[in-house]
Structure 1
Amino acid sequence: MTDETTAQGRVPSIHVIGNIQLDVLAAPVTALPPAGGDTIIDRIDVRPAGAAGNVSLALAALATPHRLFGSLGDDYAGRWVLRELRRLGLDSGVRIVPGTATGISIALEAPRQERAFLTAHGVLDSWSADALPADATEADFVLLTGYFSLPGMRGDGTRDLLVRARGNGATTLLDTGWDPDDWRTSGVREIHDLLPLVDLFLPNEPEALALTGEPDAAAAAAALAEMSGGRVIVKLGERGAIAHLPGGGLLAVSAPATTPLDTTGAGDSFAAGLITALAESGHMNDALRLGVAVASTVVARPSHDRYPSRQELDPRL
């Protein structure tokens, strides 16, 4: 972050709360192997650290001060993820829960196909707002991300967290991820009920359409903004992002042409750029541009060199 501060003379604080886990990325996967078979693919990457961890890693690369909150299991996967977070100084709000397994997601990617996931939630099945330290919601910006990857936080748990954050004067942000029940059960109602407590809602385009039944992203953003009373930002992938602002204004930022290598976690990187710019300038146009810049850079980079610094971002973005 730059030296720019708030009117009160301090740098705004940012807390990221959500699913920290191990991610396994396999590509290209166009079909599962037959029983007893072994299909050879181009690559399998293993990396930290779930939606919340991804946001935190991207913030760290941007040199944006923040804290990360979540839980890991006490297995090998959890200890490895914690070690990687500790190496970057991101572990102060992360705890190991004895006797539990770490959440793991396997992302199956292929050209011209929507990603698919295999997930074991592990400790995230039971992790709840009660496990968070009291100061987790004491920040200027509080982002809860990976809602549907946090079964123990769904519904009342998230409501209580957002109420606490709002009571502490925070700007609240929510990124749900995709409903594993494909929005056929309680998912839509849960999010609709939470939206009045959300200052910035961050769905991607398929999520926004599923939550509203609207035919396009702009109409979906408007419908979601009416429910929440706050700002709604819809991530459009390779087309950039749009924001529906109070008063009905619509702001759009396009994305540059890139050759995507790995799109898993792009939305998390967008959130990191967005929050960084909001904390620095407070201007939504700056926030959308930095969010798109970070996400566009991340999708074109490999797992071992994924998150860009400010200096590495294309100045055209």
Structure 2
Amino acid sequence: MTMLGVVGDLVEDVIVWLGEPVQYGTDSKVDIFHTRGGSGANVAGFAAPLYPTRFIGCVGEDHVGDFLVEDLSATGVEVKVQRRGQSGTIVVLIDETGERTMLPQRGASVLLQDVSDAWLEDLEILHVPAYSFDGGPLQHTACDLIRRMKLRGGQVSVDASSTGMLVRYGIEAFLALMAELRPDFLIANESEAALLGLSKQGNPGPNLTRLPQTVVVAKAGPEPTAVHIPGVDSLTVPVAPVKYIRDLTGAGDAFAAGFLAGYLQTGHLWEACVAGHATAAKVLGSPGASITQPA
């Protein structure tokens, strides 16, 4: 049996839906939800109903870690975690347009190290959010796992994750890392792709030539997704309209899950994008990276 593998963060999300602009120095009207989060875990959780999926990560030796593992396992994911330290938490502020402001304390999620070869068995694609390169032992572990996957003949997908993270890491440094690691897919939203010089308004960017072996998938919200394929013309895949949008949290992870599962099922990039769009649409009306509408 082949599987989709995901390495990355598994944390608690505290989702704060702002009912009004933040009133500094006093109370503000909000709704608060506690959910399982982490970009890596989100991708795994959304992918598992579509394709056999394994998650590789680290959580704390605490009751939060117990909850996170149990909740992710309940989606059908095969969960492989190390336990050390204290589980991470991310506070996510959602304004009335659905846009997010994230306040991360990643905790144990960055402490993954010395992963056994057995955890890579049967993986056809390994997906790695770029958050995994943002410090801690996980930064080196993620790079090591990518290299090991490539040596095994497997494929690798990287998500650009965040413009803030990319700026902290350094644009040139990140592009150099991608050129070294040679992922088969690099998934980015419009802002991330433009920042990296890989795609702008759906057109190929000047830095695409630095990644000659990588398919760059550039999302643009409700606008068509551009798929830049080395050596051939780009694809432009339209996005079906979504009626209700309240919370963008997890939509990018849901797209990655649908895209990778769709690609593993069909081997076609167009169908993979359509599957990614469909999966992403399911999370836009619910709190955090979930598909359950709040009461």
Q: Please tell me whether residue 161 in structure 1 is matched to residue 145 in structure 2.
A: yes
Partner of 1:261: 246
The 5 Å alignment of 1:18-167 reads 18-28=8-18, 31-35=21-25, 37-41=26-30, 43-62=31-50, 64-97=51-84, 100-112=85-97, 114-128=99-113, 130=114, 132-138=115-121, 139-147=123-131, 150-152=134-136, 156-167=140-151
Rounded Cα–Cα distance in structure 2 between residues aligned with 1:117 and 1:302: 14
Q: Aligned to 1:241, which of 205, 219, 225?
A: 225
Contact 1:198–1:228, Cα closer than 8 Å, also in 2: no
Following TM superposition, by how much is the alpha carbon of 1:44 offset from its aligned partner in structure 2, in angstroms? Answer: 1.6
Specify the code of the residue in structure 1 equivalent to 2:236. Answer: A
Which consecutive segments of 4 or more residues in structure 1 shift more than 6 A? none
1:206 matched to 2:196? The reply is no
Is 1:271 equivalent to 2:261 in the alignment? no
What does residue 160 of structure 2 align with? 176
Given that residues 12 and 88 in structure 2 are in contact (C-alpha distance below 8 angstroms), is that contact kept between their aligned partners in structure 1?
yes
The CA deviation string for residues 257-314 of structure 1, in whole angstroms up to 9 with x for no partner, is 211122101011111111111111101111011111111122134569617xxxxxxx
TM-score, normalised relative to structure 1 = 0.81
Cα drift, residue 177 of structure 1: 1.0
CA distance in 1, matches of 2:12, 2:272: 28
Match of 1:7 in 2: none
Is 1:186 matched up with 2:186? no
Contact 1:209 1:217 in 2 (8 A): no
Which letter does structure 1 place at the counterpart of 2:146?
Answer: L
Measured against aligned partners, the alpha-carbon deviations of 1:48-101 in whole angstroms (never above 9, x if no partner) come to 131111111111233x1111111111223222212212334435312322xx11
Which letter maps to 1:76? H
C-alpha separation in 2, matches of 1:288 and 1:294: 10
Task: Tell me if the contact between 1:105 and 1:118 (Cα under 8 Å) persists in the aligned partners.
Answer: yes
Distance in 1 (CA, whole Å) between partners of 2:137 and 2:172 is 15
**1:181–1:164: structure 2 CA closer, same or farther, 3 Å change rule?**
closer
Identity percentage of aligned residues: 24
Q: Contact 1:17–1:52 at 8 Å: present in 2 too?
A: yes
Q: Which moved more, 1:269-278 or 1:25-34?
A: 25-34
Kept in 2: contact 1:148–1:178 (CA 8 A): no
CA distance change for structure 1 residues 231 and 257 in 2, over 3 Å: closer, same or farther?
A: same
What is the identity, as a one-letter code, of the residue corresponding to 1:39? S
Distance, in Å, in 2 between the alignment partners of 1:79 and 1:210 is: 38
Q: TM-score, normalised by structure 2?
A: 0.87
More strand by share: 2
Q: Is the 8 A contact 2:250 2:289 kept in 1?
A: no
List gaps (5 residues or longer) in structure 2. none
Do the aligned residues in 2 keep the contact of 1:124 with 1:151 (CA within 8 Å)?
Answer: no
* Partner Cα separation in structure 1 for residue 194 and residue 89 of structure 2: 27
Question: Which whole-Å CA distance do the structure 1 matches of 2:289 and 2:6 have between them?
Answer: 22
Q: 2:283 pairs with 279, 298, 302, which one?
A: 298
Letter in 2 for 1:38: D
